[in-house]
Amino acid sequence: MGQVKLAAAPARLNAVLGSCVGVALYHPRARIGALGHVVLPRSGGTGGGPAKFAESAIPYMLAQLEQRGASRTALVARIAGGACMFGTGGPLQIGDQNVAAVLAALKASGVRVVAQDTGGTKGRRVSLDCTNGELTVEIVGCPPRIL
């Protein structure tokens, strides 16, 4: 949780998500990707690594990819997660806030979101294939979905 991993083809990057959001950034020509595990929308002045919060994770991921030669304009994003893990409604529904914050940060950074699988009440396992940029999303009791 609260981490970013980078890899190049043929590697796969994996995460298990509940209310957290998995952010997959991929550069098709360079065939490199990053998978961030965003825990909270904002830091609110609290400590934590740069990947923990949507407001800092997206710029951090972009900087890491750009250091490896990825052009920001060629990057595409796929996101998954943001489940309501504590039933529906109420103040503990951080999943919806995480999704909104991630989408806002990606938009502000000029990164195009090409697919998403968010919300619901079940956690997900995601896997980013750095060969082709596909994000496989698995939810218990459902067939895998490829974004």
pLDDT tens string 16-51:
999 999 999 999 999 999 999 999 988 877 777 888
Residue 92's pLDDT is: 67
pTM of the model: 0.93
**9 φ, ψ (degrees, to nearest 5):** -55, 140
What is the average pLDDT score of the chain?
92
Residue 130 annotated in active site: no
Closest CA to 39 of 23, 24, 21: 21
Dist. CA 93–CA 85, nearest whole Å: 8
The active-site residue, picked from 20, 84, 130, 142, is: 20
Residue 27's pLDDT is: 97
Local confidence band at 87 (pLDDT 50, 70, 90 cut-offs): low
Residue 1's pLDDT is: 77
Closest CA to 28 of 119, 130, 127: 130
pLDDT tens string 105-118:
999 999 999 999 99
